[in-house]
Amino acid sequence: MPNIGTPEPDPKQKTMKKANRLIQESSPYLLQHAYNPVDWFPWGEEALNKARTENKPILVSIGYAACHWCHVMEHQSFEEERIAEVMNEHFVCIKVDREERPDVDQIYMDAVHAMGVQGGWPLNVFLNSAAKPFYGGTYFPPQQWVKILQNIAEAYRNHHDELNNSAEQFAEHLNLSELQKYGLKESAADFNEADFRQLFANLSGRFDKVRGGLGQAPKFPMPVNYAFLLRYYHHTEQAAALDQTVLTLQEMAYGGIYDQAGGGFARYSVDADWLVPHFEKMLYDNGQLVSLYAEAYAVTQNPLFKEVVYETIGFVQRELMSPEGGFYSSLDADSEGEEGKFYVFKKEELQEILGREETLFYQYYNITNEGNWEHGVNILHRKTSDEEFARNHNQDLAELKHKVAGWKAKIMAVRENRVRPGLDDKILLSWNALMLKGLADAYRVFGDQAFLDLALHNAGFLLQHLRQGEHLFHNYKNGKATIPGFLEDYALLIKALITLYEITFEENWLTEAKKLTDYVIRNFYDETEALFFFTDQTSEKLIARKKEIMDNVIPASNSVMATNLHFLSLLFDQPRYLELSDTMLAKVKPLVVKEPSHLANWASLYSLKLKPTAEIALVGPQADTVRQELSRHFLPNAVLVGTTTDSDLPLLQDREPQNGQTTIYVCYNKACQLPVHTVEEALAQLEQI
């Protein structure tokens, strides 16, 4: 089992230092700061009331448990008594876990951007007593930090009105809608091929055609970009889209960003070659990358992609899965105070581990005497496929694969005896939903029962522990769910539940998806702009109520919701859902065409609007067997329904097996092709449209 939680402070520290209020929190990130001499508050009414009552400025410091520079600033500044004294005297100090409170993080990150500062974490923002921001930044070294604290305290005493005026201006900016901010006006639902191809041209201008990815260092996996390219290729058969996807997925899988021994991906690569990762591992990346590599395998049959799916799921199950069936959030980049120490090796260490096989291992993983990273250590990475390596080194391919498996086992055995990176053991619904969909997609493509079992176990856990009546919760820890769900929680869970239905034909998953969708429309929808707010109308009121439209390392909750509505409109014959989906995409379409690298999930939705979405219905005794065979093909613009008996789903009404055989109905816009009995015949019908 994984180690539970971020390592706690030394017991001696507990006897010497008094815990602050954060000791009552469940977030590992907040608990990391529980023995700081800073008088930290969690975000909430107690802190905000204190600031209002005492007319004191507020310091909001935002980070997350796996954040390297958050640890550095804590050690250099927040653990120092003399610095803490300045903070405590002049400020109400609030510590926020950005992963628990993305709504708070969104607002104050937006404020820092408005101040002309490039965002990042730790994020340190100064607010007036009404929680409106007037100054902020990211990491500050200790001497600079103390000076900033003193200057702001002095300014708040002597230039209070000026700071308040500045804060009012920033608050006004924060309350601009995303559509206003990007100059998006009313746009007709005109989704056409010319704009779609222009969209791809704008994206392809950023391709790194040597090492994959977009642009130069640092490089993030950004799964939504390559999921879109697979869909663009499916729609246009333009080889450049597939080539860039294959290149990128291959280079990532060969690079140090991928854990060559244990599976799973780090958050990003600091260089353009995917070699040196920022070693933190996040659940949201790995869930999406499982989906992406599974889809890419369905298109290409590349064995490397299958290997990555299996190893990444193995990593998540081994190191991020709770006994109850939820998935923890992340692994830290650091162990023993050093980034990456758990994963890297000096050459002499490897000599002891590998014995006679060391030379071939060095060639396979590109090990050198001087190392390929700082302090003479080596990050394991590859440069070629197993097939090419076997040819170049006169190895039998099957024997090479056997050796590689043995090398990985030896490396993992050594790592078992190392001090592990800290584990952020909070469970987040949105991130779990991404992993749930990853497992469902892996089962869809590979048919491995273990993936389905994991998915069903996780789905049951989420619906049992992070749902109460109509409401979802965002977090879960120590048997409690405490933070009301955000749009990303609803949207990503709905998406995962639709996928679960399509791999099981169990209609309860679709029923849950529809209930959640109707709740979202009632409680998150903004009639004025035809988009969804990030927060529930029943949630805590902050200084701004934001909408999320930019696809980032996690797709924007609005783009996910618009996609859900597209598919659910067909599954439940709900024209209103489709109308909402079309209107949402129309609102952002000019920006999608112009900046597709920041709206790639919207771009995937665009591809659905250019041709009718196929409605595929399977009825008869072998519906599940036919589903398994059909699902292994990449069919992004289709909904799949089926039953062995009867069903209330609109797409299964009046559908019966022909001649006692399981029958496949391929339909578009409520008009069906002739019923067929084989997957080959159904695929031929799909290709005709």
CA 120 to mean position of chain CA atoms:
17
Where does 190-205+484-610 sit in CATH, by number?
1.50.10.20
Calculate mean pLDDT across residues 263-289.
97
Q: How confident is the model at residue 185 (pLDDT cuts 50, 70, 90)?
A: confident
C-alpha span between 275 and 680 (Å, rounded): 42
Rounded to the nearest integer, the mean pLDDT of the chain is 94
Position 10 scores a pLDDT of 45
Position 210 scores a pLDDT of 96
Helices (H) and strands (E) in the chain, counts: 27, 22
Position 659 scores a pLDDT of 85
The pLDDT tens digits of the residues spanning 222-248 come to 999 999 999 999 999 999 999 999 999
Domain boundaries, the chain: 11-175, 190-205+484-610, 347-417, 614-688
Structure tokens, 287: 């869930």
Same fold, 190-205+484-610 and 614-688: no
The pLDDT tens digits of the residues spanning 355-402 come to 888 999 999 999 999 999 999 999 999 999 999 999 999 999 999 999
Structure tokens, 307: 């290997």
Q: Is the pLDDT of residue 9 over 50?
A: no
The pLDDT tens digits of the residues spanning 493-550 come to 999 999 999 999 999 999 999 999 999 999 999 999 999 999 999 999 999 999 999 9
Position 4 scores a pLDDT of 36
Instruction: Identify whether 122 is preceded by a cis peptide bond (ω within 30 of 0).
Output: yes
The answer to whether domain 614-688 has CATH 3.40.30 is yes
Q: How confident is the model at residue 16 (pLDDT cuts 50, 70, 90)?
A: low
Q: Is the pLDDT of residue 327 over 60?
A: yes
Higher confidence at residue 320 or residue 669?
320
C-alpha span between 662 and 683 (Å, rounded): 16
Position 7 scores a pLDDT of 39
Cα angle 616, 675, 236 (rounded to 5 degrees) comes to 50
The fraction of the chain above a pLDDT of 70, given in percent, is 98
The pLDDT tens digits of the residues spanning 551-600 come to 999 999 999 999 999 999 999 999 999 999 999 999 999 999 999 999 99
Structure tokens, 239: 């080889």
403 within 8 A of 409, measured Cβ to Cβ: no
pTM of structure: 0.95
Q: Is the pLDDT of residue 15 over 50?
A: no
- CATH number assigned to the domain with residue range 11-175, chosen from the 4 options 3.40.1390.20, 3.40.30.10, 3.40.980.10, 3.40.50.10140: 3.40.30.10
Q: What share of the chain is helix, strand, coil (3-state, %, to 5)?
A: 50, 15, 35
Q: Which of 259, 272, 278, 267 is nearest to 221 (CA)?
A: 267
Residues with Cβ within 8 Å of 224's Cβ and at least 6 positions away in sequence, in order, are 288, 551, 555, 600, 601, 604
Cα angle 668, 669, 674 (rounded to 5 degrees) comes to 40
Amino acid identity at 565: L
